[in-house]
Amino acid sequence: MLLLATACSGSGEEEPEGGSPSATEAPAVEIAIAPGDGATDVATSGELRVSAEHGTLTGVSVTDADGAEVPGELTEDATGWEPDEHLANDTAYTVTAVGENAEGREATAGSGFTTVAADETFTTNWNISDGATVGVGMVLSLTFDTPIEDTAAVRDAVRITADSGAEVRGHWFGTQRLDFRPEEYWEAGTEVEVSFRVRGVEGAPGVYGTLREDLTFTVGRSQVTTVDAAAKEMRVVRDGEELRTVPVTTGAEATPTWNGRMVITEKHRETRMDGATVGFGGEYDIPDVPHAMRLSTSGTFIHGNYWASSDTFGRDNVSHGCVGLDDTRGAGDPDTPAAWFYDNSIIGDVVEVINSEDDVIAPDNGLNGWNMPWDEWGAGQ
């Protein structure tokens, strides 16, 4: 049902002879609001709209019981209005619309309705904190606690704006993980705004999102490190200038390091590494690995190594797949190569491994979607 409102002439106007409007008088604007007044179980998207005939809309306000306003936009000709985000579930809304005809005479219409309650809800988690400064390889990754069927609707409810103008696309890995990145690494200094508008999105039949939040993050300096497994060295480049070349040890012949572009996702001054957790049985269990930075979900790190002799680095590849740098036990010496690299790295920096005797790492093994071609990223979703 549509609620209609018609403007009336002012009380001081002279009525034409016979009591009918003048033939030259513009018809009153008619405002229609859907859903109709008193409607219940209204869908959180696709039903709320306001339109005007014989005139234009000059203002539309949609608020909940707490006074929070639903943002929306007028059409180019100002004869229609729709919200630009999903409504919340099980929420009462009040609509007030104002319009005017060609002669500027106003009319006002109002309506109230309640949206459908959710059978279930899904939660959304993400990996970048508000205000963070990250490296140029950072990927925004969202995970969901239930499988998503309408992947396009959920993807489109995450809006990302980079002040560099870079296009940012989302890609689904399965039905519970959604990653976002630009085509190339972010430009250093880019400011990024993220608007999560997942609240009210029906991710699966009867299952709705609850997240409505904004965050910003900044892309810091550009640091890309290239690890050459054959040469057993890594070259650290920041903002186009080489900072340092460091000898390393990578994966042994039986356990080579992945090739490909990887992103630092965690930093630990010291951490335990137990081979049993990544499929190596009891081959190692080191309780205090220094200066460790994660590169993959499957257990690839770039870290300090105090148990190998110093002449191993740059000479032999002896690891179980990690990239090792010379270090001391206890992570207390700031002058070791591992300590230097740790102190000069941030979350989101890139470590690219080349010339290893292994495949390229899978794009969903860590935040490593950079290994997927852009024309495949987000295709078909």
Distance CA 268, CA 302 (A): 11
For residue 4, is pLDDT > 60? no
For residue 191, is pLDDT > 60? yes
What percentage of the chain exceeds 70 in pLDDT? 94
pLDDT for 20 equals 52
Residues 84 and 131 in one domain: no
AA letter at 52: A
Q: What token pair was written down for 200? A: 């009210």
For residue 8, is pLDDT > 80? no
Q: Average the pLDDT over 19-33 and give the result.
A: 79
φ/ψ region of 18 (left if φ > 0, alpha if ψ in -120 to 50, else beta) reads: left
pLDDT classification of 380: cutoffs 50, 70, 90: confident
Q: What token pair was written down for 161? A: 């704006």
Please write the tens of the pLDDT for every residue from 89-132.
Answer: 999 999 999 999 999 999 999 999 999 999 999 999 999 999 99
Domain that holds residue 153: 120-219
Provide the 8-state DSSP code for 116: P
Residues 260 and 157 in one domain: no
Residues 102 and 131 in one domain: no
Contacts of 67 (CB under 8 A, 6+ apart): none
pLDDT for 283 equals 74
Name the phi and psi angles at 155, rounded to 5. -60, -45
Identify whether the C-beta of residue 40 lies closer than 8 Å to the C-beta of residue 113: yes
What percentage of the chain exceeds 90 in pLDDT? 89
Residues 341 and 246 in one domain: yes
Q: Give the pairing of strands 350-354 and 223-228.
A: parallel
- Catalytic residue numbers read 303, 322
For residue 275, is pLDDT > 80? no
DSSP 65-101: TT-PBPPEEE-TTSSEEEESSPPPTT-EEEEEEEEE-
Identify whether the C-beta of residue 259 lies closer than 8 Å to the C-beta of residue 359: yes
Please write the tens of the pLDDT for every residue from 60-87.
Answer: 999 999 999 999 999 999 999 999 999 9
Name the phi and psi angles at 25, rounded to 5. -75, 130
Nearest to 38 by CA among 89, 3, 66: 3
For residue 287, is pLDDT > 90? yes
pTM reported for the whole predicted model: 0.89
pLDDT for 23 equals 58
The SS3 call for residue 28 is coil
For residue 6, is pLDDT > 50? no
Nearest to 224 by CA among 111, 291, 138, 158: 138
Query: CATH code at 213?
Result: 2.60.40.3710
Residues 244 and 171 in one domain: no
The SS3 call for residue 146 is coil
Please write the tens of the pLDDT for every residue from 313-364.
Answer: 999 999 999 999 999 999 999 999 999 999 999 999 999 999 999 999 999 9
For residue 9, is pLDDT > 50? no
Identify whether the C-beta of residue 85 lies closer than 8 Å to the C-beta of residue 209: no
Q: Average the pLDDT over 164-192 and give the result.
A: 98
Contacts of 309 (CB under 8 A, 6+ apart): none
Cis peptide preceding 35, ω within 30 of 0: yes
Q: What token pair was written down for 323? A: 């990239």
For residue 11, is pLDDT > 60? no
Distance CA 71, CA 82 (A): 9
Last residue of a domain, one of 219, 236, 268: 219
Last residue of a domain, one of 176, 203, 219: 219
pLDDT for 279 equals 74
Residues 252 and 339 in one domain: yes
Please write the tens of the pLDDT for every residue from 126-162.
Answer: 999 999 999 999 999 999 999 999 999 999 999 999 9
pLDDT for 259 equals 98
Query: CATH code at 271?
Result: 2.40.440.10
For residue 22, is pLDDT > 70? no
Residues 13 and 132 in one domain: no
For residue 284, is pLDDT > 80? no
Entry field: residues in the chain: 381
Residues 355 and 227 in one domain: yes
Structural domain count, the chain: 3
